Amino acid sequence: MTRSILVVDDELGICEFVQDVAQDMSFDVAITTSASEIVSVQFDALDAIVMDLSMPNMDGIELIRYLAENGCSAALILMSGLDSGVLATAERLARDRGLTVLGAITKPIDILTLEKLLELVPLIDRHQEVSNSGSMVDKSDFSVQELTQAVSQGQIKPWFQPRINLADMAFVGVEALARWQHPVKGMIPPDRFIPLAEESGLIDELTVSMVEQSLAEVARWQTENLTLDVSINYSALSLADLGLPDYLAGLVAARDLKADRVTVEVTESSVLTEIQNSLDVLTRLRMKGFQLSIDDFGTGFSSMQQLQNIPFTELKIDQSFVKRALSDKDAKAIVETTVDLGRRLVMSVIAEGVEDLETLELLKNYQCNQVQGYFIAKPMPGNQILEWATMWPSVASGYTG
Ligand code: C2E
Ligand code: CA
Ligand code: CA
């Protein structure tokens, strides 16, 4: 099957260059030097759009907005002669608007980079939701009743992703991540039902179920001599509940677990929304001995102020920076600075989204405390954790030499 792409750049020379490369790779290629002409093109039939950012009339950012508003499902490859920061912002903007972005190229175009990105085009199934573009979520997939039932029937289960201590590569904890085991539709990732749970007021019930199941697993591992910390994701909405600290303390005590082994993760961007109650709740959680982690650190606003006001014990560097640390000097600087900031504030720093050994080594050099990511392990059901823990030390010894 032929894949079709459209190249949009006000410089005809660039259009033709990309066209040549893509045709050599057997793509069907159309070109245009004016983004505003795309209005008349049927982009529904396109598999990808390779587009410049700086263009007269309609620029790349406007084009992104137009494509998003018109439900474009073609994957985007962005190009720009501007610095990589502008490209990264445009990429994020496009993803936030629900578009699929394969990657970005800085001009002058490196032919190998272009070929690599074009190779990705056939791999995208445009009819499926792309996992990292949360806003593409089709909420109409499920009804509130269906989700209510799923929560009460225990169809939503925690899976666990290992966290590793970088200094000695020890397996020290897990993050609990919600999975909906739908009887008909199969496994549904959290990005597709957490927003609905938040909007419909089901989130507290869902979180309670996640916490209870997670603590039960932790207690079970403990009886098998595997002591692990556990991190639970809390929606900012749940932090408005003043009864949360006592409730959580009660659960932990009932399981004979220690509060300081339980981390409450809240996303940075969300903490401020319910500031009055959440400050109260977070402070009391801390007083009861729980750890507090600021998730997706670096993506929200007024981080510094929140760090001062709220007794967080951990910074979790957002995976968007970690994944780009080797290829993008700005992302690398943010990672290094965040680790340094955490150290100065006597907080533990964890990097998420570690996908290769090189990134792990970079973080180790920076003296980041912990890592989590596909390079170590993907999230897994609770009944696989004991086996993973047995296997891990021999794998880890391969990395420590
Ligand atoms: P998060 O808290 O930032 O969790 C990390 C996400 O990144 C997880 O996706 C995890 O599977 C994924 N991940 C971990 N390592 C890597 C890696 O190396 N590469 C890549 N590409 N991805 C990696 P997941 O499980 O789909 O969860 C998505 C988000 O849903 C979470 O982001 C969290 O915000 C939310 N979520 C999950 N479970 C719960 C929950 O029980 N309650 C609430 N309120 N939110 C939850
Ligand atoms: Ca998290
Ligand atoms: Ca995160």
pLDDT score, position 344: 92
Report the b/e string of 126-148 with b at 16+ CB within 10 A: eeebbeebbebbeeeebeeeebb
> Is the CB of 245 inside a 6 Å radius of any atom of ligand 1?
no
Q: How many CA atoms lie within 13 A of 101 on its CB side?
A: 23
> Is the CB of 350 inside a 6 Å radius of any atom of ligand 1?
no
Smallest-distance ligand from the CA of 322: 1
pLDDT score, position 324: 94
pLDDT score, position 17: 97
Domain boundaries, the chain: 4-119, 144-399
CATH for 144-399 (3.40.50.300, 3.20.20.450, 1.20.210.10, 3.90.1150.10) = 3.20.20.450
Block means of pLDDT (10 residues each) for the chain, 401 residues, are: 90 96 94 83 82 91 90 91 85 87 92 92 52 40 89 96 97 98 89 90 93 97 97 89 91 95 85 66 91 86 68 93 94 95 94 97 97 97 97 89 56
pLDDT score, position 303: 58
Q: Which two tokens stand for residue 140?
A: 């109409």
Cα-to-centroid distance, 342 and ligand 3 (Å): 16
335 burial (CB, 10 Å; 0-12 / 13-18 / 19+) is: buried
pLDDT score, position 136: 37
Gyration radius from the chain CA atoms: 23
> Can you tell me the distance from the alpha carbon of 312 to that of 310, in angstroms, rounded to the nearest whole number?
6
Smallest-distance ligand from the CA of 194: 1
Smallest-distance ligand from the CA of 374: 1
Cα-to-centroid distance, 154 and ligand 2 (Å): 21
DSSP line for 34-94: -GGGGGGS-GGG-SEEEEES--SSS-HHHHHHHHHHTT--SEEEEEESS-HHHHHHHHHHH
> Is the CB of 195 inside a 6 Å radius of any atom of ligand 1?
no
Check if the beta carbon of residue 218 is closer than 8 Å to that of residue 228. yes
Choose the residue to mutate in 233, 267, 297, 355 for probing ligand 1, maximizing ligand atoms within 8 Å of C-beta.
Answer: 233
Task: Specify the residue with its C-alpha closest to ligand 1, atom 25.
Answer: 177
If you classify domain 4-119 with CATH, what class do you get? alpha beta
pLDDT score, position 128: 45
Task: Specify the residue with its C-alpha closest to ligand 1, atom 14.
Answer: 373
Q: Which residues pair with 334 in a beta bridge?
A: none
- CB count, 10 Å around CB of 293? 23
Task: Please state the atom number of ligand 1 nearest to the C-alpha of residue 375.
Answer: 18
> Is the CB of 355 inside a 6 Å radius of any atom of ligand 1?
yes
> Can you tell me the distance from the alpha carbon of 239 to that of 8, in angstroms, rounded to the nearest whole number?
46
